[in-house]
C-alpha cells in the first residue's frame, strides 16, 4: 500500500501544480500571447522549422528529453534511500525542472528558435556565449557518443528488443507519409502503427537477435557504428519524415508502458505482493559519494537537466505552432518525466523485491533482493545494473497483470531503447544546429556539420580501442556538466525575466542559485577525486568547466543586478 500511496500522491500533486503553478507562470510571468510570431511559422522550411500540433511536438519533446535519463538517475540514487530521491524528483521537477524547460523554450521561440548559447551572447556578452558554447558542445559530444553505447549495451542485454526497435523506423516513416503526404487521420493511423509495433514486440520476444563479433570489433562496437550511421541519416531528414511520427508513436508507447506500470503497482500493491523493501534514508552506502551534493547531480532527468534546454531551444522551439502550446510541451513534458521517474523509484525500491536473480543464480526476494543489488556503489553503479534494476522491477509489477514475464521484459527493453534512440538523433541534430550557428561559414552545409558531429563521436567511442567504450572516459564529468548547464540556463532565463517583471524573475533565479551551489560543489569534489586518481584528462576538462561556470555566473550576476532591461513583448 505504501507504493500505491506514494504514486497517487505524487501524480495528484503534479496535476494540481500544472494547473496552478504552471498556468500562473505562463500567464503572469511569461505572458504567453498567441498573437506573437513564432519561428515555426515565420521561418517555416519543411525541414527544421515546421508548425506542429502540440500533441505531436509533445511526443517529440518528451522522447528527446527522457531517453534513459529518468531511469538511470533514480535507479542509482535510491542507494541513498527512497525518500531523498522521491522529494528531489517531486519538488525539483515542479519548481526547477519545469520552469527551466519552459523558460528556455519560450525565450528561444521569442528569438527565432536560436540556441541557448546564442541567446546568452545577446543577454550577457560574446565571451560568456563561447564559455557556454564549450559546456554545451562538451555535453552534446558526450551524449551523442554515450547514447550510441547505451543502446548497444541495451541490445546486448535484451536481444529480444532489437527487432521491435528497428521496425519502429519503417513504421514511423510510413505513418509520416500517409499523414503528411496523403492527409490520413493522425489519431487513427498512429493507433494502427502502435498495434503493429507491439506485434513486433511479441515477435522479438521469440526471435532475439544477437550481434556477433566481426573484424576485430566487439558486438557493442559494431552496434555503436550502426547507430551513429542511423543518427546521421535521421538528423538530416525533414522532421516530418521520421522525427515527428516516430516520436508520436513513442508517446503512445509511453502511455501504454506507464499505464502498465501504474496498473502493475495497483494490482501488486493491493494483493500485498508489492512492498517497499528499501530504507527511507541511507546516508552512507559503501563506496558512495556524499548524499549532498551528489543526489542533485545523480538525478538530473526527472528533476532538472541542462540537456532539456538544448532540446527546448534546439528542435522544439522550431516546431511549436503558437505560444500557448508551449506550456503543455515545456512544462507538461517535464512533469510527465517526473512521473516516469517516480515509477522508476517504485520499481527499484519495491518491484525488485518481488523477485531478483542473484549472482549465483538464486532468486532473491524482499529486503534481501534490494540489499544484494544495492550492496555498494560499485555494485549498483554500472549501466547494466542501473537499467537492469528498473527493467526487472517493472517486469515483476507488470507480470502481476497476467502478462508473461518474457514479454514484459521485451516491452520494457524496447521502451528504454526507443527513448534512448530518440535522444541520440535529437542530440545529433541539436549539435549540428549549435556548430552551424556558432561557425556559420564553416558549417553552413548540414551534411558537413552533421558529418563532423558523427566523426568526433566515433573518435571518442574508439579512443580506448576496438571495444567501442571510449565514451566512458568522459562519463564521470557528465553529471556535473549537465547540472552546471541547467544552473546557467536558469540564470539566463532570470536575466530575460528581469526586464519583464519586478519579481517574476525570482521563479528562475532562486533555483539557479541552488543549482549553482550544488553543481559547483560537485565539480570541486570531482576535481579533488580526479587529482587523487591522477586522471590528467578529466582534471583539465573539469578545471575548464569550473572556470567557465564561475565566469558565466559572475558575468551573468553582474548583468542581472547592474543593468536596466527593457524588452519588447516578443523579445
Looking up cell 520494457 gives 412
In the beta sheet, which residues pair with residue 320?
52
Beta strands in 79-129, from DSSP E residues, in sequence order: none
Interatomic CA distance for residues 230 and 314, integer angstroms:
20
The answer to whether 481 and 139 have CB atoms below 8 angstroms apart is yes
Q: What is the pLDDT along the chain (571 residues), one digit of tens a residue?
A: 589 999 999 999 999 999 999 999 999 999 999 999 999 999 999 889 999 999 889 988 998 898 788 888 999 999 999 999 999 999 999 999 999 999 999 999 999 999 999 999 988 888 888 889 999 999 999 999 988 888 888 898 889 999 999 999 999 999 999 998 888 988 899 889 999 999 999 999 999 999 998 888 889 899 999 999 999 999 999 988 988 888 888 888 888 989 999 999 999 999 888 999 999 999 989 888 999 999 999 999 999 999 999 999 989 999 999 999 999 999 999 999 999 999 999 999 999 999 877 767 778 889 998 988 888 887 766 666 777 788 889 989 999 899 998 898 899 889 888 888 888 988 999 999 999 988 988 898 999 999 999 999 999 999 888 888 888 888 889 988 999 999 999 999 999 998 887 889 999 999 999 999 999 999 999 999 999 999 999 999 999 999 999 999 999 999 888 866 554 444 4
What is the DSSP track for 242-260? THHHHHHHHHHHHHHHHHH
What is the chain's length? 571
The answer to whether 502 and 538 have CB atoms below 8 angstroms apart is no
The answer to whether 423 and 64 have CB atoms below 8 angstroms apart is yes
Indicate the Cα dihedral angle 31, 37, 43, 48, nearest 10°: 30
Interatomic CA distance for residues 110 and 104, integer angstroms:
10
What is the pLDDT, as a whole number, of residue 565? 53
* Burial degree of 535 (CB within 10 A; 0-12, 13-18, 19+): middle
Q: pLDDT tens digit string along 131-171?
A: 899 999 999 999 999 888 888 888 988 899 999 999 999 99
Nearest to 511 by CA among 107, 94, 109: 94
What is the pLDDT, as a whole number, of residue 384? 67
Interatomic CA distance for residues 519 and 549, integer angstroms:
9
Domains and CATH numbers, the chain: 2-562 (1.20.1740.10)
The answer to whether 88 and 297 have CB atoms below 8 angstroms apart is no
Q: pLDDT tens digit string along 208-264?
A: 999 998 888 889 899 999 999 999 999 999 988 988 888 888 888 888 989 999 999
Interatomic CA distance for residues 560 and 491, integer angstroms:
9
What is the pLDDT, as a whole number, of residue 567? 45
Half-sphere exposure of 208 (CA within 13 A, CB side): 16
Looking up cell 515555426 gives 40
* Burial degree of 471 (CB within 10 A; 0-12, 13-18, 19+): buried
136 Cα distance to chain centroid: 15
The answer to whether 550 and 535 have CB atoms below 8 angstroms apart is no
In the beta sheet, which residues pair with residue 356?
364
Q: How many CB atoms lie within 10 A of CB 569?
A: 10
Using the Cα atoms of residue 176, residue 180, residue 185 and residue 187 in order, give the sign of their dihedral.
positive
What is the pLDDT, as a whole number, of residue 569? 43
The answer to whether 460 and 145 have CB atoms below 8 angstroms apart is yes
Interatomic CA distance for residues 490 and 496, integer angstroms:
10
**DSSP label of 45:** -
What is the pLDDT, as a whole number, of residue 571? 43
Interatomic CA distance for residues 552 and 119, integer angstroms:
13
Cis peptide before 293 (omega within 30 of 0): yes
Amino acid at each position: 500500500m505504501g507504493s500505491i500511496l506514494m504514486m497517487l500522491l505524487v501524480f495528484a500533486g503534479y496535476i494540481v501544480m500544472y494547473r496552478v503553478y504552471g498556468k500562473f507562470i505562463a500567464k503572469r510571468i511569461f505572458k504567453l500571447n498567441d498573437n506573437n510570431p513564432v519561428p515555426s511559422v515565420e521561418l517555416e522550411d519543411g525541414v527544421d522549422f515546421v508548425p506542429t500540433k502540440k500533441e505531436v511536438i509533445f511526443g517529440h519533446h518528451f522522447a528527446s528529453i527522457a531517453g534513459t535519463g529518468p531511469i538511470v538517475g533514480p535507479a542509482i540514487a535510491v542507494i541513498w534511500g527512497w525518500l531523498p530521491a522521491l522529494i528531489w524528483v517531486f519538488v525539483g521537477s515542479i519548481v526547477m525542472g519545469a520552469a527551466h524547460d519552459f523558460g528556455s523554450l519560450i525565450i528561444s521561440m521569442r528569438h527565432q528558435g536560436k540556441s541557448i548559447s546564442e541567446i546568452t551572447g545577446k543577454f550577457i556578452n560574446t565571451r560568456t556565449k563561447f564559455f557556454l558554447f564549450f559546456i554545451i558542445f562538451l555535453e552534446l559530444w558526450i551524449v551523442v557518443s554515450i547514447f550510441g553505447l547505451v543502446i548497444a549495451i541495451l541490445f546486448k542485454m535484451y536481444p529480444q528488443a532489437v527487432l521491435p526497435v528497428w521496425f519502429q523506423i519503417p513504421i514511423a516513416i510510413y505513418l509520416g507519409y500517409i499523414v503528411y503526404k496523403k492527409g490520413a487521420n493522425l489519431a487513427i493511423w498512429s493507433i494502427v502503427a502502435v498495434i503493429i509495433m507491439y506485434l513486433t514486440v511479441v515477435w522479438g520476444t521469440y526471435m532475439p537477435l544477437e550481434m556477433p563479433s566481426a573484424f576485430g570489433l566487439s558486438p557493442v562496437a559494431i552496434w555503436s557504428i550502426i547507430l551513429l550511421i542511423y543518427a546521421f541519416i535521421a538528423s538530416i531528414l525533414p522532421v516530418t519524415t521520421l522525427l515527428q511520427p516516430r516520436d508520436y508513436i513513442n508517446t503512445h508507447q509511453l502511455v501504454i508502458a506507464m499505464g502498465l506500470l501504474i496498473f502493475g503497482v495497483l494490482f501488486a500493491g493491493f494483493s500485498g505482493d508489492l512492498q517497499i523493501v528499501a530504507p527511507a534514508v541511507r546516508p552512507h552506502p559503501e563506496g558512495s559519494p556524499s548524499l549532498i551534493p551528489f543526489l542533485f547531480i545523480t538525478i538530473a532527468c526527472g528533476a532538472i537537466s541542462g540537456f532539456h534546454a538544448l532540446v527546448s531551444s534546439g528542435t522544439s522551439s522550431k516546431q511549436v505552432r503558437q505560444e500557448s502550446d508551449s506550456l503543455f510541451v515545456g512544462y507538461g513534458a517535464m512533469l510527465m518525466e517526473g512521473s516516469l521517474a517516480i515509477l522508476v523509484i517504485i520499481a527499484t525500491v519495491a518491484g525488485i523485491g518481488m523477485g531478483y536473480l542473484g549472482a549465483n543464480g538464486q532468486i532473491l526476494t524482499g529486503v534481501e533482493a534490494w540489499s544484494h543489488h544495492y550492496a555498494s556503489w560499485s555494485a549498483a553503479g554500472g549501466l547494466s545494473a542501473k537499467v537492469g534494476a528498473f527493467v526487472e522491477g517493472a517486469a515483476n509489477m507488470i507480470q502481476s497483470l497476467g502478462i508473461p514475464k518474457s514479454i514484459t521484459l521485451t516491452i520494457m527493453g524496447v521502451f528504454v531503447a526507443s527513448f534512448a534512440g530518440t535522444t541520440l538523433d535529437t542530440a545529433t541534430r541539436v549539435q549540428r544546429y549549435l556548430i552551424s550557428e556558432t561557425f556559420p561559414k564553416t558549417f553552413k552545409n548540414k551534411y558537413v556539420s552533421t558529418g563532423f558531429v558523427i566523426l568526433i563521436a566515433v573518435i571518442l567511442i574508439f579512443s580506448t580501442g576496438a571495444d567501442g567504450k571510449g565514451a566512458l572516459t568522459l562519463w564521470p564529468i557528465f553529471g556535473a556538466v549537465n547540472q552546471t548547464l541547467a544552473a546557467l540556463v536558469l540564470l539566463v532565463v532570470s536575466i530575460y525575466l528581469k526586464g519583464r517583471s519586478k519579481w517574476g524573475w525570482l521563479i528562475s533565479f532562486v533555483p539557479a542559485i541552488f543549482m549553482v551551489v550544488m553543481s559547483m560543489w560537485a565539480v570541486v569534489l570531482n576535481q579533488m577525486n580526479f587529482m587523487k586518481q591522477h586522471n590528467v584528462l578529466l582534471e583539465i576538462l573539469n578545471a575548464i568547466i569550473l572556470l567557465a561556470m564561475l565566469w558565466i555566473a559572475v558575468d551573468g550576476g553582474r548583468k542581472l543586478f547592474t543593468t536596466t532591461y527593457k524588452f519588447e513583448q516578443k523579445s
